[in-house]
Amino acid sequence: MQNPEATRLDHVQHYWDHGYAVIRGLFSPDEMQAVQAESRRIYAEGLKHHATYRDRNVLFEILPESFAGQRYVLQAHWVAWFSPLFEKIRRDPHVLAVMAPLLGQDIKQVAQQIHWKPPGATRRTGYRFHQDLRFRERQDVYRDLMTSYINTGLAIDPATTANGCLRIFPNSHQRGYLGLSDDGPIMKGSTQDHELIAAGLDPQQAIDIELAPGDLALWGLLTVHGSNANTSAKDRAFAIQSYVRASTSDRGEWAFRDGKSVQLGDEPKICKYEQLHEKPGPFYSEDRWFESEDGR
C-alpha cells in the first residue's frame, strides 16, 4: 500500500480556486485490482433484481429488459453495508490524507455510490449537466455547505472521453446555483448548448476529466458537471463518495473522528432521502423514468 502521508496536497488550492481537483494514483494498481473485482461482484448482485431496489441507504438502480432488451445496473448506493472492501475504502487513510486539509479531522460521509456505464445501455448512461446542491433536500440540516461538503470520484475502470468520463466547467462554482437540469432526471437526455448559454456558460469551456484506475477527482456542490453517454465497447465504473465536515452536518455516517477511521455501526442512518424515514424498505420501485416522452 502506498504511504498516505506521501499524497501530494497541491490539490487543496486548486479545489478552492477552480471548484475541482484531481489526485493521480491515490490507490495503487494492486489495490485497484481488488476494487475492480469487487465492483464486478456488486454489479452481478444488482442483476438479481428485476427493477430498482431500495433498502434504507442501499439502492440498486436497474435498467430493465423492457427498455434495453437486457437488464443493466446503472448505480448502486451505500454498498459498504454489504461489501467489507468498500466499507474500508470509505474511511481509508488515503482518503483522509486528501480530505483532512479541506475538511479537518472530523468527517462524516453522506453518500456512497458506484456508477456503471454498460455499453449496451448507451441511451441512459449520460448525465446532464447539473450542480449537486440540487440533491440536498434538507439544507437546514447542513451548515456552510459551500465550504464543508465535497464530492469525490474514484476511477475504478479507466475513465475516458469515449466511455463517458466526468466533465466539469472549471470555476463554475463561483456563479451560484444555476438550475441546470431541474426539469427532470439527470440521466435522461443531454444538456443542449442553448441551455448552457442561457445559464451563462460557454459550452466550449467544459473539460473532460480522464482518469486512470486509482485516480481521484474532487468537486463541490456548486461545480457544474455531467458526462456524456458511453459510446465505447468498455464499461466505466466510477465510485462516488461525498464527505462533510462533521460539525456542520446533522446527517451522515462517521468516516473519521479525530483523524481515526470509524466503522459503520449496527444500523444505517438515513443519509439523504427524506422519504426513507417513512418508508425505509426493502421495496422495489417501478418508476419508468428512463422512458422517453413517446414511451420508447
Give me the pLDDT at residue 137, please: 55
Cα distance from N-terminal residue to C-terminal residue, the chain: 48
The pLDDT assigned to 136 comes to 65
Cα 51 to Cα 76: distance, rounded to the nearest angstrom: 13
Structural domains counted in the chain: 1
Crossing angle for the helix pair 11-18 and 93-103, to the nearest 10 degrees: 50
Distance CA 292, CA 123 (A): 10
Q: What is the DSSP letter of 151?
A: E
The answer to whether residue 59 sits within a structural domain is no
Which pLDDT score is estimated for 114? 98
Give CA–CA dist 214/31, Å, rounded.
Answer: 8
Q: How far apart are CA 114 and CA 41, in angstroms?
A: 12
CATH of the domain at 137: 2.60.120.620
Q: 276 to each of 59, 81, 267, how far by Cα in Å?
A: 12, 16, 14
Residue 286 lies in a domain: no
Using the 8-state DSSP alphabet, how is residue 213 labeled?
Answer: T
Give the domain range for residue 172.
Answer: 75-263
CA distances from 184 to 130, 190, 250, 278, 282 (A): 11, 11, 28, 24, 25
Rounded distance, CA 114 to CA 60, Å? Answer: 10
2 in any annotated domain: no
Angle at 12 between CA 9 and CA 17, to 5 degrees: 145
Question: What's the CA gap between 117 and 236, in Å, rounded?
Answer: 5
Shortest CA distance to 170 belongs to which of 210, 209, 197? 209
3-state secondary structure of 185: coil
pTM reported for the whole predicted model: 0.91
CA distance 102 to 187: 30
Q: For residue 256, which amino acid is it?
A: F
Strand partners, 60: 53, 76
For residue 204, tell me if it sits in a domain. Answer: yes
* 257's grid cell: 473522528
Give residue 273's pLDDT.
66
Q: How many whole angstroms separate alpha carbon 211 and alpha carbon 5?
A: 22
Per-residue pLDDT at 9: 60
Domain membership flag for residue 259: yes
pLDDT by 10s per residue, the chain, length 296: 333 333 456 899 999 999 999 999 999 999 999 999 999 999 999 999 999 999 989 999 999 998 888 999 999 999 999 999 999 999 999 999 999 999 999 999 999 999 999 998 877 889 999 998 877 655 665 667 778 899 999 999 999 999 999 999 999 999 988 888 888 788 877 888 999 999 999 999 999 999 999 999 999 999 999 999 999 999 999 999 999 999 988 889 999 999 999 999 988 887 766 677 678 779 899 888 888 743 34
